[in-house]
Amino acid sequence: MRYSKANIVLLVLALTASAGDAAANRKNVLFFAIDDLRPELGCYGSKQAISPHIDALASKSMLFERAYCQVAVCSPSRTSLLTGHRPDTNHVWLINAQEYWRLFTNATTIPQYFKENGYVSIGMGKVFHPGAANGNDDSKYSWSPEGLPYYHSPVEKKYGPGNKTSLWWAFDGFEDNQLPDGQICDHATSVLQQLRKNKTKGDDRPFFLAVGFHKPHVPQYAPKKYFDMYPPIDQILLAENPKIPVGMPDIAYETWSTPREFNNTKMYFEGKNCTKTPQKAYSAECQFPDNAAREFRRAYYASMTYTDFQVGKVMSELEKQGFAEDTIVVLWGDHGWQLGEHSEWAKFTNFEDATRVPFLLHVPGVTDKGLHSASLVELIDIFPTLVDLTGLPMPPVCPEGKKQPLTCVEGSSVVPILTDPTVSVKNASFSQYARPNSGFFKLPGLNPKNGSEQVMGYTIRSDQYRYTEWVYFNHTTATAYWDDPRGLMGVELYDHRQPTVNFNDENVNMAHDDSMKSVMEELSYALRAGWRAAKAMRD
């Protein structure tokens, strides 16, 4: 079923000012970014997670059941989402990648675009990946400078990933705002109060307010009261599919060193050399014992619930300050997270658990009764969607094989789905993950003298399948060698045709099943043709 263009026009006109109206009449945007949040929430049907405030937001939002990131790691996922450019355009693929998109494309970001179109753009917490590699929150370009500097919690480093004291902490007697996300929440509420004061003084600009929360990123900590919301450890559910997929190529596996490096987890792995090879990493002796696995999962849930309550406080303040009816709210996780599924305890893969994300979109007067859609969408769609909903000029699609203009997008607006949750705006989602020619993966067949050569895992998620090819790749030129005489490093095909029983259905690699040959040929063609061909089919 194709959506009615007339319906979309009416929807956008209902949400935005006409071209001749002042920017002040446009909707505000509240932009929640949550780190390492997988779609295991009450509103997504979780059996154990406690998320009352995100669930409340979902009850008046469009909930996208099948939303996917472009790379299952923080920096490249956020770079892609915030610029509207896919990783092969940005040249940002790996964790804390030093390739910064402004050196390559100088792309316009979402908050920058709103600032340049009459919004006051304000940011805090983890929105961009922090650090020099991304220009220190892109402060020079993305945010409005007047009296509202970018905010980080003063205790962010103290409790950040660099502190290896414990992988999970329950802070007894702590108030929410003694930890970074509580301080970010307090700052967000104070900003909303200041914005209301500014309105009374005649500042009629709409706002773009980005609030980035850190938890449930490791280390997983929260005030003890959030741990106490969960049952005792022996009642915490373990992963339903803890084994690696049958027939999985080793290159698909992530050796997840970080969770093994904390002072309270080292003891399980000392002397076992667990990160030497993928085969060793997924061996039985290199997995968490059940008691530690339950501790880890409980801590993930508790830290997620802590963040959930911060979301609730910000939403309450939005209502209190009278902005709720004039504000579009978007909430997203930058990628998924594996909690023992497939013997994984991290992200860094192309599996469903790593690439599937929560994505909620609240549009006042449109989604108030709560909507669900199983249509395929991607995080890269957020940029054109917010532009569409606020009536700003839509950036062009990025041209192929040319120097990119400052502002262009490679996703699609999901606005059509708001008028009919059954329609689709794309036939497939596209994600990828790189295995470098170094570290854990000293890959057979790679040229050790060519530091620019690595392997890229490209994956396509169709309505019924996930198909992945691991191909030789040059990261300097962003070139995939599909026809390299060395062949592919791995091929995967997972069947999603049946309703899920576990958290996902990717338990058997069917790439070597002769009955799936025609399916694989079709998906291989679509994967190599890429997102442009898929978009052209829809347009």
Give the residue numbers marked as catalytic.
Answer: 74, 129
Three-state secondary structure readout of 55-121? HHHHCCCEEEEEEECCCCCHHHHHHHHHHCCCHHHHCCCCCCCCCCHHHHCCCCCHHHHHHHCCCEE
Burial 444-459 (b: 16+ CB within 10 A, else e): eebeeeeeebbbbbbb
For residue 349, give the amino acid letter: T
Residues in the chain: 539
Question: Which distant-in-sequence residues (6+ apart) come within 8 Å of 247 by Cβ?
Answer: 508, 509, 510, 511, 512
Longest CA span, the chain: 70
Token digits of residue 312? 């609730």
Identify whether the C-beta of residue 223 lies closer than 8 Å to the C-beta of residue 230. no
Cα→Cα distances 95→186, 282, 379, 433, 476, Å: 29, 22, 18, 10, 16
What are the respective helix, strand and coil percentages of the chain, to the nearest 5? 35, 20, 45
Q: Which residue has the tokens 């993930």?
A: 300
Q: Phi and psi (nearest 5°) for 465?
A: -140, 160
β-partners of residue 441 are: 438
For 413-426, give one letter per residue: b (16+ CB within 10 A) or e. bbbbbbbbbebbbb
